[in-house]
Amino acid sequence: MAEYDSLKAKQEHKNGKKKLKETYYRLTTPVHVTLNSYKEHKRIEGYYEFKDYGHIFKCDRLLKLETAYGKVQMGYNPNRKRSFVFANMKTNLYDTVNTRYQKTMKEYQRQAEQKKGNENRAYVSGRWKNAAVLLEKAENKPWSAKSMEPYFDNTNMEALLKTMPYLDGRQEQSQLQETREEMKRLKEAVRQNALQGKRAENAHIHRQMRELSEESSLLQAILYRKDAGKRGFVRKINYAFDIEKKDMFEYYRVQRLKAAREQIEAIDSNAGSGEGDSADKKEKEDK
């Protein structure tokens, strides 16, 4: 049983290191930035707007950040008068990431349809559930890291961290703290062995310390990258919004006035035609 627990712990540690490396690759992947003007009325890719009452205008895309793993787009909703960030994973390239976790998710997505007997099984092809995330800024202030923090415990963190891995570093921070505490414990064990003359037993401990040191360096690099990526991301979306907001607000103000006038004219014309019909009926009755 002890041997099984030891193998399980080693496997979990190995998977944890793979996950950290994958996070580092996501943080360092090249980003293609596309700036759009609201006048282009570019459609936000992968985003489907609700056709509820009051949704008159379509959302405009102002910024697109595209990587090998996902796509992050910032748009403006003129109906709610709010800007928002929409992120969705690129499942076609995302499937090629060589980790067991992604392969398991891929097989889960391609579930076989229920069929009788030995008939061939047909697989469902489509986007994964929870492959997208939407962050909406309710307050009339510039975007900041704090304005996104309320979503961390309420939204789909998987899609958030796969497409925008720089937003939340709480997990890496706690791992780094655990690593430092473990390093202190090992150093104390080495000191005790040296005092007791058990220097031969320190070889295994030194190997563990080297592994912990490498893991600690990787965690520090990830946290540094996350901090820099978060500040750069917030700066990009604020710039893209500030460049367009003055003309955009004026444009939609005029469009709303125009739509209101057309609605009033339509009501007046319907009311006038109704009065005319009633007058014609009265004349026929008098005759």
pLDDT tens for each residue of 34-93? 999 999 999 888 887 765 545 578 889 999 999 888 899 999 988 888 899 998 887 544
- Report the share of the chain in percent with pLDDT over 90: 28
* Range in 21-30, 236-245, 273-282 with the lowest mean pLDDT: 273-282
pLDDT at 229: 92
DSSP assignment letter at 167: S
pLDDT at 259 over 80: yes
pLDDT at 228: 92
**How far apart, in Å, are the Cα atoms of 15 and each of 38, 96, 101, 158?**
44, 17, 9, 17
* Range in 111-115, 225-229, 262-266, 274-278 with the lowest mean pLDDT: 111-115
**How far apart, in Å, are the Cα atoms of 228 and each of 135, 166, 213, 223?**
20, 8, 23, 9
pLDDT at 92: 47
Structure-model confidence comparison of residues 110 and 34, the more confident one: 34
pLDDT at 146 over 60: yes
Section 153-171 average pLDDT: 82
Q: Could you tell me the residue ranges of all domains in the chain?
A: 26-109+126-166+230-257
pLDDT at 265: 87
pLDDT at 64: 95
| Cβ pair 51, 75 in contact under 8 A | no
- Backbone torsions φ then ψ of 114, nearest 5 degrees: -75, 125
pLDDT at 46: 81
pLDDT at 109: 57
pLDDT at 103: 58
In whole angstroms, give the CA distance from residue 216 to residue 9. 18
**Average pLDDT of the chain, as a whole number:** 79
Using pLDDT thresholds of 50, 70 and 90, give the confidence band for residue 1.
low
pLDDT in tens, 189-248: 888 888 887 777 788 888 889 988 988 999 999 999 999 999 999 999 999 999 999 999
DSSP assignment letter at 91: H
DSSP assignment letter at 214: H
Q: Write the CB contacts of 273 (distance below 8 Å, at least 6 apart in sequence).
A: none
| AA identity, residue 34 | T
pLDDT at 107 over 80: no
DSSP assignment letter at 124: P
pLDDT at 53: 47
- The closest of 249, 229, 225 to 237, measured between CA atoms, is 229
82-89 β-sheet, strand order:
32-35, 60-66, 70-77, 82-89, 132-136
In whole angstroms, give the CA distance from residue 244 to residue 242. 5
The b/e string for 128-160 (b: 16+ C-beta within 10 A; e otherwise) is beebbbebebeeeeebeeebbeebeeeebbebb
Section 17-21 average pLDDT: 82
- The closest of 225, 244, 287, 251 to 25, measured between CA atoms, is 225
pLDDT at 153: 74
- Backbone torsions φ then ψ of 74, nearest 5 degrees: -110, 130
Beta bridge partners of 64: 34, 73
Structure-model confidence comparison of residues 3 and 260, the more confident one: 260
Section 262-280 average pLDDT: 73
**How far apart, in Å, are the Cα atoms of 263 and each of 47, 215, 258, 269, 270?**
29, 64, 9, 10, 11
Per-position DSSP letters for 29-67, written without gaps between them: S--EEEE--GGG-PPPTT------TT--SPPEEEEEEE-
**How far apart, in Å, are the Cα atoms of 194 and each of 116, 134, 183?**
69, 56, 17
Report if pTM > 0.75.
no
pLDDT at 65: 94
pLDDT at 112 over 60: no
